[in-house]
Structure 1
Amino acid sequence: MDLTDALTWAAKRKHGVLITIRSDGRPQSSDIVYGIRDGLFEISVTNGRAKTANMRRDPRVVLHLTDPATWSYVSFDARAELSESTKRAGDATSDLMVDYYAAVAGEPHPDLGEYRQAMADEGRLLVRLTPTGAVGQVH
């Protein structure tokens, strides 16, 4: 499947399943919400999650998107890059998270101070996935 066509299809959606690799080689899946910016998928995660530990150890992932109503799906092979965790409201990662929220929600958060503090309290970080290939069928 052409990667550009797959990204165009994915840009009209925002829910998917992120598949990472456990330390024993088995797949681990997580429902996620994503945004796309400059051809990269962006996902918000926290430090304590299995998917975060898995991506730190092995950045190879699959992002699987589906549209059951049209019997369409695309699975992206990708490489993950993780930002630093948000340590305080107003740090560089907090800025990334503000941009991520606006991209996914389609509008800025109504209380940026509250949102930035929540990102710090949760130790949120941004994952950027660089797609390297795509398979699937789009109807």
Structure 2
Amino acid sequence: MSQGPAPRVLSDEALSELLGGQQFGTLATNKRSGHPHLTTMLYKWDPEARVLRFSTTADRIKVKQLRRDPRAALHVSGGDVWSFAVAEGEAEVSEVTTVPGDSTGQELLAMVRGSVDPADEDAFLQQLVDERRVVIRLKVQRLYGTALDVNG
């Protein structure tokens, strides 16, 4: 039986590009038991600041877990099943947006800039308040991942 190609370690730049090229990933936080809590999340990658941002509601279990233990990781699949990136770091949770257009609301709006019609921004900011939205900021300290070059 012949052995196929070995996985290729991706450079920091390639990993950053992979993160920037996707929108969804699996966020891992830590339960009190030490077991991982996994959830699929929409995210926004800021490569210059090395920060991943997520929008969620204040009552989600991941928010409580991150306030207790800020260690987290995001797993993102590449264009095929053989490539992936993992971003590890410590997360912080913003204050709940309570007034349309407050700093948390503006940060959430910036995450979706271009997908919200400017005429609808006021309604969007009010919806964020009504939903008690927060921003999770994962400050990436380590990136790793691989790709497997397979010729089909």
Q: Quote the RMSD (CA, aligned, Å).
A: 1.5
What residue is the counterpart of 2:22 in the other structure? 13
SS in 2 for 1:71: coil
**Structure 1 counterpart of 2:84, from 34, 49, 73:** 73
Counterparts of 1:1-139 in structure 2 under 5 Å? 1-37=10-46, 38-67=49-78, 69=80, 71-102=82-113, 107-110=114-117, 111-138=120-147
Consecutive unaligned residues of structure 2, counting only runs of 5 or more, are 1-9
In 2, distance between residues paired with 1:133 and 1:97?
24
Aligned residues of 1:98 and 1:108 also touching (Cα < 8 A): no
In 2, distance between residues paired with 1:88 and 1:60?
29
Kindly report structure 1 stretches of 4+ aligned residues shifted beyond 6 Å: none
TM-score (norm 2): 0.82
Q: Tell me which moved more, 59-68 or 27-36.
A: 59-68
In 2, distance between residues paired with 1:49 and 1:24?
17
Give the length in aligned residue pairs: 135
SS in 2 for 1:114: helix
In 2, distance between residues paired with 1:2 and 1:131?
15
In 2, distance between residues paired with 1:54 and 1:125?
14
Report the Cα offset of residue 76 of structure 1. Answer: 1.4
Q: Tell me which moved more, 40-49 or 127-136.
A: 127-136
1:109 partner letter: V
Q: Identity of paired residues, percent?
A: 26
Per-residue CA deviation, residues 57-81 of structure 1 (Å, 9 max, x unaligned), is 0010010001352521111111101
TM-score (norm 1): 0.89
* Structure number with larger C-alpha Rg: 2
Aligned residues of 1:63 and 1:78 also touching (Cα < 8 A): no
